[in-house]
Structure 1
Amino acid sequence: MEMVSRLRRKFIALGTAAVVLIVFVVLAALNLASFYDEGSRIEAVLSYITRHDGKLPEKRIVDEGFDYTPEFAFQTRYYWAKFSEDGALLAADASHIAAVTDEEAEVLAARLAHGASLRGNYEADGAYYAYLITKLEGGGSFVVVMDCTREMQMVWNGVRFSVLVGLLCVLLYIALVACFSRCLVAPFVRNLKSQRQFVTNASHELKTPIAIISANTEVLEITMGKNQWTETILKQVKRLSGLVNDMVALAKLEERVSEHFHPIDVNCAETAREVAASFELPAKEQGKRIVTEIEDGVHVLADQRIIYTLMNVLVDNAVKYADDGGDVQIALASGRRGRGMVFSVTNPYAAGEGIDYSRFFERFYREDASHNSEKAGYGIGLTIAAEIVSYLKGKLAVRYKDGAITFEAALK
């Protein structure tokens, strides 16, 4: 069933979105922590070199929580330079790095010393460097620059690996949910079938007493003549009979669409004219008028009965609830690029200001909560229209402007 398929897709989509969000947050937190930890370690090394006049320990020590092994001094690539207060070079050492000569170290260190930042990083020739500038007590500055390429490569490799693991987790989740989603929605499917069966059975049971009430009332009218009581009974019987039929139609709609849907090329212009003609007399009896603007050559690939039902529901709704003496405007045009159709029905509705029109497609919704007025709102028919448009993967919109309400169905 289409509804169940849509439910499964929505369930998978929402679940996947939640898992993606969780994986993203966790991986982002882990990678940010990794960057922060590595940055703190680099700054600790730069600080140690500064405090020990450009030297690293040759034996194992622990300083500020960092463990310096005997080999660490030989593994770390760095250079440093000292400058006086007027910027003159006092001392420099580039013996601990191979990628930078003494002259280059002096120039780079001088450039950093005259910069605005006391710490930071830069890239050169594919290598990544971090630096720390310390102001000396007697004036001047001490610049230490360290090659952090290896450390940053490890961090970025960790980022790439974590992203790959995250993607694999998401794909695995999608595969598992797709396999087990049928079991998860099975109770809903059973409840849905039970609900439809109940509606169908109850409707058939109601038809018999409704028919008996109608027949007995007609006999009373024949024998005793018409009066306000018999007219009221027949009116309510007709209304109840229509409601029962609508409930059955709504319950069977998805089954009819999914199991007996045979799409053909439907001439929407002919269907629209047929629907409009069928409402001319009822509209005239209510002092209203049908006005059409139907474009020829509009076709869609669908079921002709379903398209007729959609148009019939919207026009019936407009004729029933249009203001007295108003025009019901029926328009049909091609969709974008000449594909599909756009069917709209507009009717005057003076009392429509400030109403939540999105609720008109809810089952049994009436704008008047008392349900006593014949023009209290829009009945179950709009729900049927919304279901049809949904099954056909179209859009049904409603808007209110200049005292008129318009329902527009767009199909591809």
Structure 2
Amino acid sequence: MIKRLRRRFILIAASSVMAVELLVVGLINVIYISQINKRELQLMQILCDNDGRFPEFGKHFDQKPDSRNENVSIPPPEKKYRLGDLGFKVNEETRYQTRYFYIRYDENMNPAEINTGHVAAVTSGEALGYAKEVGDSGETSGFMGDYRFSVIEKENGKLYIFLDCREDIRMKRSFMLISSAISLGGWLLVCLLIIICSRAAVKPFIENFEKQKMFITDAGHEIKTPLAIIQANAEVIEMINGTSEWTQSITNQVTRLNGLTADLLRLSRMEEDGVRQTFAEFDLSEAFADIAGPFRTLAENKGLSFDVKAQEGIRINGDSSAIRQLISILTENAVKYCDEGGCITVSLEKTSSGRHALISTENDCAEPPEHPERLFDRFYRADKSRGREEGEAASGYGIGLSVARAVVMSHKGRISCKAEDGRIVFTAKLRCL
């Protein structure tokens, strides 16, 4: 149990850190890429507004007067462009740093001007090829390879502008790879720290669990002695005065407490990580028939219908005595809690994949519990209104299903409970050979 708790703690902590890192790194990448895209769109807008050319910086861009000479006046611009936000600002060097080319067509869609003077990677012929490909696509903006393009309708034709974005694309990819690598490295480092510190994190629980186990073990052994004395005294009274309802009640309660003590000690031992059960290959079908079959008599004596369905030849690797106890607990539970005159079905079969064996018990239950999964909790009673006089024999001590769950978990299996259509179903899933 301690190992499972520690693994669960590490898994939850690592998953939480990964979720936070994915959110932060994703947000940073989105902001960075959106700023680059915004810069490209702003440059393209400037080129589109000025027929494929950059205007003069002082006249067309917002800028503060020179602090060394506040009397310098800036000519009123024809159209001003606001210097960018958060990371991008147009300056005097922007027109020389920007790589672009454009093709102007006349009214008859004949090339009137091809300007590739601001880019070295494209010839005039290649520029015409790009323009023709864009024209055939019918799109007015978007990407063509490493170039962002825009098509502007003019009075005397069309203007195709292509902005070289290869450096921006490379920067986007590099930023994403570097940020992802740093994020992954940081996550692995945090996971290592979590693994190292996990023992200290679960230490209070380990201490409480060890104290609980010690208390159960000590109390179990201490209770055995007075129970043995009470049983012996009851037998002496019966020998002297004969059997009475009082001595019989004492004997029943002693038997019940002995069973409870034995189950508590068994459950405590099964939950200890150091305890290893004896696993060996055995015939589950044969064990199932041996344990479930004898309950038919008990069910029929209570006026219940009892049906056993067992698929033959199912073999598993496990602790035979523990699995037999599991079958006994589930079958006995179905007989105890089946409605009067109801039907019980106990079955063993393989899953469709053939990799697992399913042990199932079904019984009629007109008033199923609201939380079936809680039936596996220790001392949980689904029907709290049930009186002690009825619960003594029928309801047990609320620990049998806890033992069943411990057996299944020790075999790396799964056990579940569900209530539907007036029936309650317990299913144990074990890996088979």
Shorter chain as denominator, the TM-score bin is 0.7 to 0.9
Q: Do residues 121 (structure 1) and 137 (structure 2) align?
A: no
Which residue does the alignment assign to 1:132? 150
| Cα distance, 1:292–1:304 mapped onto 2, change above 3 Å | same
Match of 1:97 in 2: 119
- Structure 2 counterparts to residues 211-222 of structure 1, below 5 A: 211-221=228-238
Cα distance in structure 2, aligned partners of 1:308 and 1:376: 21
2:90 counterpart SS class: strand
Q: Letter of the aligned partner of 1:176 in structure 2?
A: L
Is this contact kept in 1: 2:269–2:275, CA < 8 A? no
Q: Please state if 1:64 is matched with 2:82.
A: yes
Amino acid at match of 1:318: A
What is the 5 A alignment of 1:169-318?
169-221=186-238, 223-224=240-241, 226=243, 228-255=245-272, 258-280=274-296, 282-288=298-304, 291-318=307-334
Partner of 2:71: none
* Structure 2 counterpart of 1:367: 382
Are positions 1:5 and 2:3 aligned together?
Answer: yes
Percent identical: 31
Per the alignment, in what secondary structure is the counterpart of residue 199 of structure 1?
helix
Gaps of 5+ in 1: none
Distance 1:17 1:85, change over 3 A: farther
Q: Does residue 156 of structure 1 match 2:178?
A: no
CA RMSD of aligned residues (A): 3.3
Q: Is the 8 A contact 1:318 1:328 kept in 2?
A: yes
1:79 is matched with which residue? 101
What SS does structure 1 have at the residue aligned with 2:429? Answer: strand
**Aligned to 1:172, what secondary structure does the other structure show?**
helix
TM-score (norm 1): 0.83
For residue 103 of structure 1, report the CA deviation from its aligned partner.
Answer: 5.2
| TM-score, normalisation: structure 2 | 0.80
Mapped contact 1:78–1:94 kept (Cα < 8 A): yes
* Secondary structure class of the residue paired with 2:380: coil
3-state SS of paired residue (1:68): coil
SS of residue paired to 1:259: coil
* 8 Å Cα contact 1:368/1:377 also seen in 2: no
- Matched letter for residue 130 of structure 1: R
Cα distance in 2 between the residues matched to 1:36 and 1:358:
49
Superposed displacement of residue 79, structure 1: 1.6
C-alpha distance in 2, partners of 1:389/1:193?
22
Would you say the 8 A contact 1:365–1:377 is kept in 2? no
One-letter amino acid matched to 2:384: A
- Aligned equivalents of 2:128 and 2:420: distance in 1? 75
- Residue 385 (str. 1) matches residue 404 (str. 2): yes
Deviation at 1:217, TM superposition (A): 4.3
C-alpha contact (below 8 Å) 1:348/1:403 kept by paired residues: yes
Q: Give the conservation status (yes or no) of the 8 Å contact 1:266–1:302.
A: yes
For residues 269 and 149 of structure 1, the distance between their equivalents in structure 2, rounded to whole angstroms, comes to 68
CA deviation vs aligned residue, 1:337-390 (integer Å, no higher than 9, x gap): 5555322223333433x7432221122111112352425698211111112111
Matches within 5 A, 1:13-24: 13-24=11-22
Deviation at 1:31? 0.9
Q: Which runs of 5+ in 2 are unaligned?
A: 64-80, 84-88
Query: AA paired with 1:26?
Result: V
Per-residue deviation at 1:110?
6.8
Query: Which residue is 1:146 aligned to?
Result: 163
Contact 1:130 1:148 in 2 (8 A): yes
8 Å Cα contact 1:364-1:379 kept in structure 2:
yes
Q: CA deviation at 1:179?
A: 2.5
Query: Per-residue displacement from partner, 1:238-278 (whole Å, max 9, x unpaired)?
Result: 333332322222111123x7423231112223322332355
